[in-house]
Chains A and B, each alone.
Chain A
Amino acid sequence: MYFLFSGEGATDLGFGLPGTLIAEGDQYHHGPMTVFADRIIESRHGYSPLESECCGYVSEHDVAARGHELKSARKMLALPGAKVPKETRYFFNTARLLARFARDKGAERYDDVVAVLFRDSDGTASAGRGLWPDKRKSMLDGFAEEDFLRGVPMIPKPKSEAWIICALKADPYAACDPLEDRSGNDRSPNSLKGELERLLGEPATGELLLSKIEDGSIDCHRITMPSFLSFRERLEEVV
């Protein structure tokens, strides 16, 4: 089984070196969220996709570059309504595009491919507008639209800092759910980014988070937030 990751950058699923559409091996600098996914699979199935190098990464930019494939039919205007909420189309279309990459990769390797698509719920593409369940459902609908059965939405609510804060909490039994109702705006007075930096005592760079996850000081199995559990359950379901 092959794992195809696509995220927003170094602090989530990492990045690929320029030159290849799907970065693999040394070309792929995985991020902290990749290790979360890797640990979940390892604890359940006893193997690490990262160690076995059966994974790759396609950037947000390269996914979007295939956007023209969905934009050619101008008359095919998808309208929101009672069944399709606003602020979800980006998630639907991005999932469709990643599914196409995954399908191509599967055909190339004669292998099953799992696609993990990371987007913050409160990220740039919706800036806090729209509801998390609608965005997650839109991603699943987007994968289904392409008849792709192994798509996994990875959508922290409101953003990945909340998951890390939850993993770092002193009391492992303390509920982290309230973190999901916080603002994802980094400029807000009580921002998640600021809180994470205070907990770490230094800026929460992708490199630092990665090292702390890899050395076990941040443990994803301590995260009990609904948005994380949804990701974990879906990942376990498709693998």
Chain B
Amino acid sequence: MRIRQLHIDNFKSLIDFDLPLAKFTCLIGLNGVGKSTVLQCIDFLAQQVRGDIKEWLRERTWQSRDLNSRLRTKRNIDFKVEIVDDWDQAYGSWEGSFNTTKLYCTSEHLSISGTGLAVEDGTYSIHQPLPNSGVRVGGRPFVTQLPAEKQIDFSYEGSILSQLKDTGLPGPIVEFKRFLQNIRSLDLLSPEQLRQKTRDSSGSLGLGGKRLSSFLHELGPERRANLSDQLKRVYKHLDTMNVRSLRSGWKLLEIQERFGDKKLTTEARHINDGMLRLTAILSELGSDHRFVLLDEIENGINPELVEFVIDLLTTTPKQVLVTTHSPLILNYLEDEVARAGVMYLYKTTDGHTQAVPFFKIPSLAKKLEVMGPGEAFVDTNLTLLGEEIEQMPEGR
């Protein structure tokens, strides 16, 4: 399962914003065009299913009014997420309208593999195929009875999915719920946070990566050993990477390096920034999460590691969304991956963020024929690119 298309209206600068998402998508563009906002937006949508919007806002030190575009008076955030299955066939969609005052979705329509969920006017209903009805439309079981509408007599934040028990939901909806619940954007990954001792990860690295040590601990010895082996490929002196349990449940990350016949143990607070960031990326790739979001992937990654990191991100079975300013990162992408996945973000004259596949812009399509994706990117005067985009037949 992966997200094929995202539509969002009224989340910060994302107004009537459409973004196709490939298996590997890389957002590029000038500073301030909304690349990080897209990651925040996807994290926000995932939080709908986790619930507790207030905590999500508190952690980011945001107010609910910060969620809306400041260019409009509209308060609701409307969204639509289109899903495909592992064979890239349409699998379903989820659309809704989040009220930034009430902090929940006042309407929702979820349709996944013949099952569905609807929220409207204070009621909700669940659709699922009748067992053994035998009626199929378009290869899928057909609902032959209208589902009963139920009053919503409980309070919640985000999507109603955050409150409904899995046992009462059709299988495909539970699968979709878990897919979204496990999406975490690493848009504020910071070495200082990554160095912290932690007790419990709650299944994620946490904002800024502050729960790295406990997240690694919870991955288990086998996945940790695998991660350690991957790190050894690029850090030749690395011997082992450990997570040590301290008193009261605290977890401490440390590494052992070997220099000749000497072993050197280093605690997380002294590990170099690049290795910590790479450890965070590898741990996310080694987790059960199926969609990995990373902001400014090049930070702390020295040029010798770029090929290694790009290979990891483009060959993982997970869906990946990254942002970058680095032509070197782009230059390691295969042309086909670049054509499908490099999205150029820019702002219209009225301040709205828009996205266009970078190598579908005619001049960039030509350049890609005779140079690498990174060379084409760095050769292009991005400040003047908007004029060409405006002249494209589809407008964007």
Contact = CB atoms under 8 A, between A and B. Distances in A.
A77 B307 CA distance: 13
Interface in A103-141: 124-130
B396 to A, nearest CB: 15
Interface string A58-91: 0000011101001100110111100000111110
B369 A64 contact: yes
B208 interface: no
A185 B370 contact: no
B391 interface: yes
Contacts of A44: none
A90 B372 contact: no
A124 B363 contact: yes
Query: Looking at A90, A126, A130, which has the most chain B CB atoms within 10 Å of its CB?
Result: A90
A95 to B, nearest CB: 10
B371 A89 contact: yes
A77 B331 contact: yes
Nearest to A73: B372
A97 interface: yes
Query: Looking at A65, A77, A86, which has the most chain B CB atoms within 10 Å of its CB?
Result: A77
A93 interface: yes
B367 A89 contact: yes
Contact of B307 (A74, A86, A87, A93): A74
A93 B372 CA distance: 11
A70 B371 contact: yes
Query: Looking at A63, A64, A187, which has the most chain B CB atoms within 10 Å of its CB?
Result: A64
A87 to B, nearest CB: 6
A77 B374 contact: yes
A93 B370 contact: yes
A126 B370 contact: no
Query: Looking at A71, A93, A185, which has the most chain B CB atoms within 10 Å of its CB?
Result: A71
Interface string B216-235: 00000000000000000000
B328 A77 contact: yes
Interface in B14-31: none
Contacts of B374: 74, 77
Interface in A7-57: none
A160 interface: no
A187 to B, nearest CB: 7
A74 B372 contact: yes
Given A87-B379, A88-B379, A127-B388, A70 B370 contact: yes
Interface residues of B, number: 27
Contacts of A77: 327-328, 331, 372, 374-375, 378
A94 interface: yes
B370 A124 contact: no
B371 A93 contact: yes
A74 B371 contact: no
B368 to A, nearest CB: 8
A24 B369 CA distance: 25
A74 B363 contact: no
B380 A67 contact: no
Chain A contact residues: helix, strand, loop or mixed: loop
B59 interface: no
Interface in B309-350: 327-328, 331-332, 335
A63 B369 CA distance: 9
B387 interface: yes
A71 B372 CA distance: 6
A127 B371 contact: no
A77 to B, nearest CB: 5
B381 A97 contact: no
A129 B380 contact: yes
Interface in B345-394: 362-363, 366-367, 369-372, 374-376, 378-381, 384-385, 387-388, 391
A127 B363 contact: yes
Given A77-B374, A77-B375, A86-B380, A125 B388 contact: no
Contacts of A80: 378-379
Contacts of A63: 370
Given A74-B307, A77-B331, A185-B391, A94 B370 contact: yes
A129 B303 CA distance: 30
A67 B369 contact: yes
Contacts of B332: 74
A126 B363 contact: yes
A125 B327 contact: no
B359 to A, nearest CB: 13
A87 B383 CA distance: 12
A28 to B, nearest CB: 22
Interface string B275-308: 0000000000000000000000000000100010
Nearest to B379: A89
Contacts of B362: 124, 127
B331 A74 contact: yes
Q: 7 closest A-B pairs (Cβ-Cβ)?
A: A64-B369, A67-B370, A89-B379, A127-B388, A93-B370, A125-B366, A127-B363
9 contacts: A71-B372, A74-B307, A78-B379, A86-B380, A86-B381, A89-B375, A89-B376, A89-B379, A90-B366
Interface of A: 63-65, 67, 70-71, 74-75, 77-80, 86-90, 93-94, 97, 124-130, 185, 187
Given A64-B370, A75-B303, A86-B378, 18 more contacts: A64-B366, A67-B371, A74-B372, A77-B328, A77-B375, A77-B378, A86-B379, A87-B379, A87-B381, A90-B370, A90-B371, A90-B379, A94-B370, A124-B362, A124-B366, A127-B387, A127-B391, A187-B391
